[in-house]
Structure 1
Amino acid sequence: MTVKPFDFSHYYTYRELLEYLHQMTDVYPQLIQLKIIGQSYAGKDIPIAILTNQNTGKYLEKPGYWIDANTHAGEVTGSAVACYILYYLLTQYQQDSMATRLLDHHTIYILPRIAIDGAEKYLTTPYRLRSSIRPYPYPDEQDGLHQEDINGDGLILQMRIKDDCGGWKISEQEPRLMVKREPEEFEGTYYTILPEGSILNYDGYEVKLATTFEGMDFNRNYPYLWSPEGQQQGAGDFPFSEPETRAEAEFWQENRNINGFISYHTYSAVILRPYSTHADEHFPVSDLDIYKLLGEKGTAITGYECISVYHDFRYHPKDVTYGVMDDYAYDHFGWFGFTIELWDAPTQAGVKKENYIDWGGKHPIEDDLKLFKWNDENEIKGFIDWQPFNHPQLGEVEIGGWNFKEMWQNAPEKYLPEICERQCKFALTHALMSPLLAISKATITHQGADIYHVVFELENRGFLPTYTSQKTLERKAVRLIEVILSLPEKVSLISGKLEQEIDHLEGRSNKAYNTFAKGTDYRRHLEWVIKGPVDSIIEITACSERAGTVRCSLNIKMI
């Protein structure tokens, strides 16, 4: 049984996602297993795919790497990328050297959709929402304008209403484009622009925008510097208050072999790294060096710039974002990882942004004209022409504007293959930087009579150290390497320890920015003297929580 080529034609609904995961499991049972890590707010199973070659070892006994997507309901491009990475690893096993090495020696955890309920509503209705369908922060809809497909065309766009006090006017260069009215302008036709929708408890005079009914934001619900709703919109009732984020956290606590991660979001075409709340001086120096190295690798592969959220991606110079996943993953566990904002329509149209956040509020009209040209030439159908409509509450309005869901928030399907391929390559490259415990030597030497000398040498063949990062050591988030010598009944120990912990092994990362010799800090040996009869079998096991478990058996031979 084989699988069809990856389906780039549309974004998967929940049913299609489950069918896809089960199909891949049926075809590649030795390389993938599915687990349900919890249930969503609406009671839907949350599946995670665990990828590794089960013939070469258990998944918890190999270094792990985490991929998740669709934290925000509408950011379904991320889910497509996660599913493609899964597809590539399985179909290219024994065809591609990176995929083969990863599945033989590593474990890849893929959670393709966190916002299970929200994404389903997003994909099957005109509505947009942040993460969950749970009413939040209020149990009931509040008075004011709520977004709704008021004209029944299957989209929620914008409404423009003629208004002498309006802040917008029609562009002279492009009649579809609304531009800001100048402060000194008074002669002309001006408009107020509102989201398409209806007004709850409208008094016939003033229009206010209602508080979002489904305002929960999973990416504000993690414990690192979590702040309540009054300070951080979308935070939830307390850290991990939501069943989706709590299920994720419980899985992490039980599966402690993870070294790195990527969380896929949209949009801006940029790679984001921690912190959201602190300047780079907050990092251990060596960790910041590695983050920059990894970011440079990501830029070279994906074409996306890698930036600090705190320094380059803040919504306001005096505000920071609290309770986000990547800050928690790095600061609590010491994992190196990124939030990747996939896709960006302006970038695709040839617009160069000086600032990722500020561009949305202020940019030259030439950028808008590039967007319209790109939209028209590529037949994106991202802009819906303004059409008159008799609104039941507001009277004559026009409805139209950019189709946010299918042009801004997510990539049109024709662009998915390139996005998926580039992101897949970076994810595989990043995962292969994990530490990897290996046995470099295991010998048993006859010393006379029934006495034997045992030498066992371990090494770390990975890029990162077996403790992952300096932050991991600060948090004491990983145990030392444990070595166990197992002896049969008739063999006794003369010197050495049956069970012992040894210090972590460095990788190559501590040499990336240092030209001075470091010695063989990636290798360490242990010795024992034992007494026993010929043909007895001894076993040695070395276990590193994040670099894997290795074993060997030695046969006592008289030479």
Structure 2
Amino acid sequence: MKNFFIKLTFTLLLAGSYAAYAQLPENILKASGSPANPKVPMAWNRYYDYTAITDVCKKLAAAYPNLVKVESMGKSFTGKEMWVMTITDFKTGDASRKPAMYIDGNIHSNEIQGSEFALYTAWYLAESFADTKFIRELLADKTFYIAPTINPDARDNFIHNPNTASSPRSGLIPIDNDRDGATNEDGFDDLDGDGNIVSMRRKNPNGRYRADPKDPRRMIVVGPDEKGEYELLGSEGIDNDGDGFVNEDGEGAYDPNRDWAWNWQPNYIQNGAYKYPFSLPENRGIADFVMKHPNIAAGQSYHNNGGMILRGPGAEEDLNTYNAQDVQVYDALGKMGEDLIPGYRYLVVYKDLYSVFGGELDWFYGGRGIYTFSNELWTSFSLFNKPGADNSPDASYFFDRYLLFKDAFVDWKPYKHPQYGDIEIGGFKKNYGRMHPGFLLESDAHRNMAFTLYHAFHTPKLSVDEISEKNLGGGLREITAVIANSRLMPTHSSQDLKYRIEVPDIVSLSGAKVVAGMVVTNRDMGITAEQKVDPANLSVANIPGNGTVTVRWIVQGSGAVTVSVDSKKGGQAVRKG
């Protein structure tokens, strides 16, 4: 026995030495744009449950204490911590005083890859900091708040329990969907116990379907002169409660993306709404976090699917909320997204899809003035990367057959159903159709991340570009300063200004006694607007994107002066005159 343990120890040490050797920098040729030797090794061709996500968040924080900190935004319905990572170069300043980008994923449990995309972003920022100048400069200026999963209960339900690609969307709060007085008494049943919920079909010469001769796995509608072979019976399951319906009363039925406090509507108007805005603990936790972080200037939420870069409004009734100035910013960012992510389209929710009331996207912008996108991840364009190829009705079957080697499909097999009798069950697994196949996951994660980094880059960047002085005589001087914003986004969106969501920016002068202070509205014509109260600290409503604001003071006495700028969403800037 002693010899066995000696041999086992030697084997493990040897294996460890090989693993360490394989990761030595001299043994690796760095691929452009990717971390070569990460401290937290990750595989981005799979999906992680809540425990694994928690582990990655904590490992990143431990490996990069000067870049990553992890905290909880609150607890889910079942008590899971809702992790959010704060990522910035903490050595270059207070994270809460830098313009910030908020990113989350997985509000709908079946829309799973948003978590991986958010997690990839956090991982990439930390692991690329040392050898990528752009990332170092970005994290010196900006803060990222990244919440990989904002529906952790249902994420684990989706991953660990039998489900279809479209179930469930909600969390795990019990709901009586069919109003029979009981909850969770129906829902999916894994008839054959293989861990998959697929489809049911029954042979029927009068059915509307037959097997496709090119691929018998696929059901196609019979032509007018053809004889049917099958009828389709829906997703695998049983009518457990005897009400005549299968799979209609499972865990949850609300939609977390109908729970936000902007243009919220009750369930009879907007199906999926819960009790009242922020009645779900997960959304309440996010809202509290955002309210406590007024530096959040940009937002990104990840959904699936369809290959879309979405902005609001969610409903036509809210059309006037998105005014022309803000739409120009959205358009510039969204069109860049189309260039960065092939096959994705920049769209408006209500106009190009359907109405959404009480959506996260609209609350972030409408309620907080934050420029926010919602990306619908995965597009069938990615199947073959050429226009039109994805429109073929059998494209998914062809892709599964020749690129996934039939790994995504459960072959049809007979089953004795207690209600339908002799049937067959088979079809695509839950991890196909709405979710990326493994080999395409990292590529799309990187492209979507690049879009969010571009968005974050264009949050305001302020500087004091000019301090000039003019002697007025009598011991008085005129100090003029030009405050510049070199990025696309203003310090206050038009929505922010309209509802005075955030406090104005403050431009201050120190080093001399201020007699008068004013905002210069036309420097050439000498037109100013004086601020009589607290003239040393001028209140500026907005510093426009790619624009400037000019301020002026009349001061008494000699000596150097310092001009500083403090903006909740624009950060800080200081310059000595």
Normalising by structure 1, we get a TM-score of 0.84
Specify the alignment match of 2:18 in structure 1. none
> Offset at 1:85?
0.8
Specify the alignment match of 2:125 in structure 1. 89
* 8 Å Cα contact 1:122-1:129 kept in structure 2: yes
2:569 aligned to which of 546, 554, 557: 546
- The answer to whether residue 342 in structure 2 is matched with residue 300 in structure 1 is no
Specify the alignment match of 1:201 in structure 2. 241
Specify the alignment match of 2:231 in structure 1. 191
2:219 aligned to which of 175, 178, 181: 178
- Secondary structure class of the residue paired with 2:432: helix
* 8 Å Cα contact 1:48-1:111 kept in structure 2: yes
> Partners of 2:76 and 2:340 in 1: how far apart?
35
> Offset at 1:419?
0.7
Specify the alignment match of 2:438 in structure 1. 413
> Partners of 2:567 and 2:207 in 1: how far apart?
64
Moved more, 450-459 or 469-478: 450-459
Specify the alignment match of 1:11 in structure 2. 47
Specify the alignment match of 1:152 in structure 2. 193
Code of the aligned partner of 1:472? D
The gaps in structure 2 that reach 5 residues or longer are: 1-36, 518-534
The gaps in structure 1 that reach 5 residues or longer are: 315-319, 509-520, 555-559
Gap change, CA 1:449 and 1:240, over 3 Å in 2: same
* 8 Å Cα contact 1:137-1:216 kept in structure 2: no
> Partners of 1:119 and 1:263 in 2: how far apart?
16
> Offset at 1:351?
8.1
> Partners of 2:130 and 2:487 in 1: how far apart?
21
Specify the alignment match of 1:263 in structure 2. 301
Specify the alignment match of 2:449 in structure 1. 424
Code of the aligned partner of 1:197? G
Q: Deviations over 1:452-481 (max 9, x none)?
A: 7655442212221221x2222222222221
* 8 Å Cα contact 1:540-1:551 kept in structure 2: yes
> Offset at 1:279?
8.2
- The answer to whether residue 421 in structure 2 is matched with residue 395 in structure 1 is yes
Code of the aligned partner of 2:569? R
Gap change, CA 1:483 and 1:350, over 3 Å in 2: closer
> Offset at 1:171?
2.6
> Partners of 1:446 and 1:47 in 2: how far apart?
56
Q: Deviations over 1:340-372 (max 9, x none)?
A: 111134651468579xxxx9xxx7xxx232221
> Partners of 1:194 and 1:506 in 2: how far apart?
54
- Secondary structure class of the residue paired with 2:291: helix
> Partners of 2:561 and 2:170 in 1: how far apart?
54
* 8 Å Cα contact 1:64-1:259 kept in structure 2: yes
- The answer to whether residue 382 in structure 2 is matched with residue 334 in structure 1 is no
Q: Deviations over 1:311-368 (max 9, x none)?
A: 2223xxxxx22211112222222322211111134651468579xxxx9xxx7xxx23
2:395 aligned to which of 367, 370, 382: 370
> Offset at 1:377?
0.8
> Partners of 1:530 and 1:438 in 2: how far apart?
25
> Offset at 1:67?
0.9
Alignment of 1:514-533 (within 5 A): 521-531=547-557
Moved more, 5-14 or 271-280: 271-280
Specify the alignment match of 2:351 in structure 1. 311
Specify the alignment match of 1:289 in structure 2. 328
> Partners of 1:528 and 1:408 in 2: how far apart?
66
Code of the aligned partner of 2:202? I
2:491 aligned to which of 437, 448, 466: 466
> Partners of 1:294 and 1:279 in 2: how far apart?
24
> Partners of 1:247 and 1:130 in 2: how far apart?
19
1:161 aligned to which of 202, 206, 215: 202
Moved more, 446-455 or 380-389: 446-455
Gap change, CA 1:301 and 1:187, over 3 Å in 2: closer
C-alpha root-mean-square deviation of aligned residues, in Å? 2.9
> Partners of 2:446 and 2:569 in 1: how far apart?
27
Moved more, 159-168 or 469-478: 159-168
> Partners of 1:166 and 1:475 in 2: how far apart?
58
> Offset at 1:541?
3.6
> Partners of 1:255 and 1:188 in 2: how far apart?
60
* 8 Å Cα contact 1:480-1:544 kept in structure 2: yes
1:104 aligned to which of 137, 140, 146: 140
User: What count of residue pairs does the alignment treat as equivalent?
Assistant: 515
Code of the aligned partner of 2:365? Y
Specify the alignment match of 1:116 in structure 2. 152
Q: Deviations over 1:294-327 (max 9, x none)?
A: 111000001111112222223xxxxx22211112
Gap change, CA 1:306 and 1:388, over 3 Å in 2: same
- Secondary structure class of the residue paired with 1:16: helix
> Partners of 1:161 and 1:421 in 2: how far apart?
43
Gap change, CA 1:220 and 1:164, over 3 Å in 2: farther
* 8 Å Cα contact 1:216-1:236 kept in structure 2: yes
> Partners of 1:258 and 1:116 in 2: how far apart?
23
Code of the aligned partner of 1:198? I
1:275 aligned to which of 313, 333, 349: 313
1:482 aligned to which of 501, 506, 522: 506
> Offset at 1:162?
2.7
> Partners of 2:59 and 2:495 in 1: how far apart?
39
Specify the alignment match of 2:25 in structure 1. none
Gap change, CA 1:461 and 1:281, over 3 Å in 2: same
> Partners of 2:570 and 2:53 in 1: how far apart?
31
- The answer to whether residue 545 in structure 2 is matched with residue 507 in structure 1 is yes
> Offset at 1:115?
0.6
Specify the alignment match of 2:171 in structure 1. 132
Normalising by structure 2, we get a TM-score of 0.82
- Secondary structure class of the residue paired with 2:187: strand
> Offset at 1:190?
2.9
Gap change, CA 1:45 and 1:281, over 3 Å in 2: closer
> Offset at 1:424?
1.6
Gap change, CA 1:165 and 1:330, over 3 Å in 2: farther
